[in-house]
Structure 1
Amino acid sequence: MSVQTDMKDEWVQYLLLPSLVFALVMGLLEWSQGDLLLADGLYRLQSATDGWPLRDSFWAKTVMHKGGHDFVVILAVGLLITCGLSVKRESLKEIRPGLIYLLSCFVLTVLIVGALKAVTHVNCPWDLLRYGGSEPYIPTFESLPDGVKPGRCFPGGHAAGGYGWVALFFFAKVYRPGLRWWGLAGALLLGVSFDVAQQLRGAHFVSHGLWSLMIAWWVASLGYLLWFRRYLQPGLDVPDNH
């Protein structure tokens, strides 16, 4: 297979197909009102009549939210320190581009999700009349009616802290191909754990976390396709590790 053909295949495999699947899933969620159906189920599961009982629980708020936040900050700081050490340590110089790529993907994901949260109007489930709050439910991409207080809950910021590590898949693809699926699984497990905990608290709908996952994947895949693989072998292809 030629280099150009393989590059085209990777654009399809890592960017086009995941984007199409994501668009399909989002379309089905919007059409079926899946956000509300799942949130209704979680709300009833907690036997809630006024608010979300798990919103301020030790497990969900302190362990999963605050503790999870601190955990990913420690990971990012540790990676930043490792990037610095790679300047002089011979044992790290070989993987320095990958370390920079990993850190850049995580930071960009968190920044993009944070910026979107600041400009979107979507309320958290716990803000809605449907679940004991004060605001009506407005679909994600509909305009906010007059008199409705805008929210800052979309996409899922906490989930992004976990999903921001999906770049581990491409990092391992280059340096340790046999571990690439383990890297992806670890990032997904972390992101899903954060996401589910926030849904149980009433902080987010399922689509909020899925958007964070897709943003993280777009950042990681574009970073790999446009820079990482080209930086390692300008004009050539990364060895086929499929």
Structure 2
Amino acid sequence: MESRFAVAEPIRLSLFTHLIAPIAGASVLFILAYGTSFDFGLASLLFDWQGGTWALQHHWLTETLLHHSVRTINEILVLGLLGYWVWLHVVVRKRSENQRALGVLLLSLVVSFVSVAVLKRLLPMECPWDLLQFGGSSEFWGLFDTRPETMSPNQCFPAGHASIGFAWLALYYYWRELKPELATRGIVIGLTLGLLLGFVQQLRGAHFISHDIATAAVCWTVSTVLHGLFQNSCTSELSVRSKPARTISANLPVEPSQPVLLTTSVESPDV
């Protein structure tokens, strides 16, 4: 009897390459931006360029198009992908590698958005437009400073709008599963969108560049960890599935006068 299973051996992640090195690099960039005068230097440059005011704060291009409209487009896109995933899961009812990879992509996007939103509430920092030197009314309080109890918390760290772009870094892992030759494009798309949307908010006075760096690190960490967890889960499931075939073949009744040749063919499953 011949038993055929399609066992897809996922390409294992390198912990150093995919998590330790990127987070270390992001940490260095964050320290350089936040711990030196680069944050304030860049903000001052943009503030002075706009005539000593945040002239682009409520401009139609930066606020209406590149802030509100982009957020709406992102929500529509995510909901569209979610609807497609539900259709595959409920209507088609055929498990596939694409379905699983799409599910992990959607989970990574949502968890990235939620993680940044939660951190914004837990880490009350001011935006540039809140500060005295940039036309606001507040003094600057560092990330780890003890803030006065009477001071109202601001939610400017990390950068929420940039997470709309950086969350799509998860495309790297989506394509890594389905079309590895396209995986690098996921990083290009995520970084390009994140940096663009982050710079838009810097032009408006909403964030320092260190806020965007922190957001990129959060989004990449979320997508990497979730991909690793589901990859391990898939590997374990495939391992369990492959055992019954061998057990069935091994326990076949064998007539003493009739030798039986047991053959097990293992191929890659569509999971």
TM-score w.r.t. the length of structure 1 is 0.88
Alignment deviations for residues 109-165 of structure 1 (CA, whole Å, 9 cap, x no partner): 111111111122201111110100000112222222455432111111111111111
Is 1:191–2:183 an aligned residue pair?
no
Alignment match, 1:43: 47
Structure 1 residues 186 and 113: CA distance shift in structure 2, 3 A: same
Alignment deviations for residues 215-238 of structure 1 (CA, whole Å, 9 cap, x no partner): 0000011111122x22443388xx
Is the contact between residue 29 and residue 213 of structure 2 (CA under 8 Å) also seen in structure 1? no
Measured after TM superposition, the shift of residue 57 of structure 1 is 0.1
Alignment match, 1:85: 87
Q: Which runs of 5+ in 2 are unaligned?
A: 1-10, 239-267
Distance (whole Å) between structure 1 residues aligned to residue 86 and residue 188 of structure 2: 27
Alignment match, 1:76: 78
Structure 1 residues 89 and 21: CA distance shift in structure 2, 3 A: same
Is 1:103–2:106 an aligned residue pair?
yes
Alignment match, 1:56: 58
Structure 1 residues 92 and 185: CA distance shift in structure 2, 3 A: farther
Alignment match, 2:183: 180
Percent of pairs with identical residues: 29
Alignment match, 1:65: 67
Q: Which runs of 5+ in 1 are unaligned?
A: 1-5
Distance (whole Å) between structure 2 residues aligned to residue 92 and residue 155 of structure 1: 37
Is the contact between residue 129 and residue 206 of structure 2 (CA under 8 Å) also seen in structure 1? yes
Amino acid across the alignment from 2:103 = I
Query: Secondary structure of the equivalent of 2:196?
Result: helix
Measured after TM superposition, the shift of residue 90 of structure 1 is 6.9
Residue pairs, 1:1-242, within 5 angstroms: 7=12, 10-48=14-52, 51-87=53-89, 88-89=91-92, 93-145=96-148, 147-227=150-230, 229-234=231-236
TM-score w.r.t. the length of structure 2 is 0.79
Distance (whole Å) between structure 1 residues aligned to residue 141 and residue 39 of structure 2: 11
Alignment match, 2:265: none
- Larger Rg belongs to: 2
Distance (whole Å) between structure 1 residues aligned to residue 220 and residue 59 of structure 2: 31
Alignment deviations for residues 1-49 of structure 1 (CA, whole Å, 9 cap, x no partner): xxxxx85x6111101111111121122223312211111111111122x
RMSD: 2.1
